[in-house]
Amino acid sequence: MQQLVLILPALNEAEVLAGVLARLKAGIKKLPLTTELVVVNDGSTDQTAVIAGKAGATVLTHLINRGLGAALGTGLAYAKKQPADFAITFDSDGQHDPADIGKVLSPLFKNRADVVIGSRSLNRKSKMPFLRRVNNQAFNVLTWFFFGKTTTDSLSGFRGFNRRAIKSINLKTERMEVSNEFFAEIKRHRLRLEEVPIKVIYTPYSMRKGVQPGNIFAIIFRLVLRLLR
């Protein structure tokens, strides 16, 4: 049976992580895959690692907080070392619906794509807050400007990869700019990209997470540094 590694970057997510993992475990039961839940504990100071371990997840720990990019890089490096046929990145703050995993995997199963982005913008029922929508559009433009790739949701944390993409992608950035760097890697390795609509679940908790509007200039600066490497 084919193997899926499901990667959750986590920084101080003890408040919601048990519920997220429980819903994930229930949601993946029907998948025709052997699935491993991998929580990358990015220097958390709460009980994130303990909760993940009790839920049966593989826990990879950074001793200090290194950032989202570093956490995703650690997760994908782990998937590279496994006989993983597919990998999915999934936010640990509860904003993603496990029911959408099959939707993200479908283009990979059918060999239509190497990378699949779960797009909040393609879901007509998605009620993305105004500032989040503006922020997302700004980063979509930046992704096109810097990397020549068109996307409707460059900041989505819900992504799927086949074995070719897992082996090819090599992330260098360590912070929030990693979301845009994925598109640089897609272009560099000529990976086939597809987007599918996903549901997003906004809560006061999840709204405190992710890229905030004021971070755009710092992210642009780090993206430029990445291009100069």
* Tens of pLDDT, residues 50-76: 999 999 999 999 999 999 999 999 999
Contacts of 188 (CB under 8 A, 6+ apart): none
pLDDT bracket for residue 134 (50, 70, 90): confident
Helix (H) or strand (E) holding 53, with range, is helix 48-54
Q: How far is CA 136 from CA 23, 208, 216, in A?
A: 27, 16, 10
The per-residue pLDDT for 177 is: 86
Classify burial at 47, counting beta carbons within 10 Å of its beta carbon; exposed 0-12, middle 13-18, buried 19 or more.
Answer: middle
How far apart CA 44 and CA 128 sit, in angstroms, is: 28
> Does 207 score more than 80 pLDDT?
no
Largest CA distance in the chain: 45
pLDDT bracket for residue 133 (50, 70, 90): confident
Q: Considering only CA atoms, which of 123, 180, 131, 121 is closest in space to residue 152?
A: 121
pLDDT bracket for residue 225 (50, 70, 90): low
The per-residue pLDDT for 175 is: 87
The per-residue pLDDT for 131 is: 67
> Does 206 score more than 90 pLDDT?
no
How far apart CA 131 and CA 137 sit, in angstroms, is: 10
The per-residue pLDDT for 229 is: 59
The per-residue pLDDT for 140 is: 82
How far apart CA 8 and CA 78 sit, in angstroms, is: 12
- CATH no. of 3-228: 3.90.550.10
Classify burial at 48, counting beta carbons within 10 Å of its beta carbon; exposed 0-12, middle 13-18, buried 19 or more.
Answer: buried
> Does 26 score more than 80 pLDDT?
yes
Ranges of each domain in the chain = 3-228
**Contact 54/166 with Cβ under 8 angstroms?**
no
Which is more confident, 82 or 141?
Answer: 82
pLDDT bracket for residue 211 (50, 70, 90): low
How far apart CA 67 and CA 10 sit, in angstroms, is: 10
> Does 27 score more than 70 pLDDT?
yes
- Strand 58-62, strand 34-42: pairing: parallel
pTM of the model: 0.89
The per-residue pLDDT for 123 is: 74
**Contact 114/164 with Cβ under 8 angstroms?**
yes
pLDDT bracket for residue 209 (50, 70, 90): low
How far apart CA 155 and CA 19 sit, in angstroms, is: 23
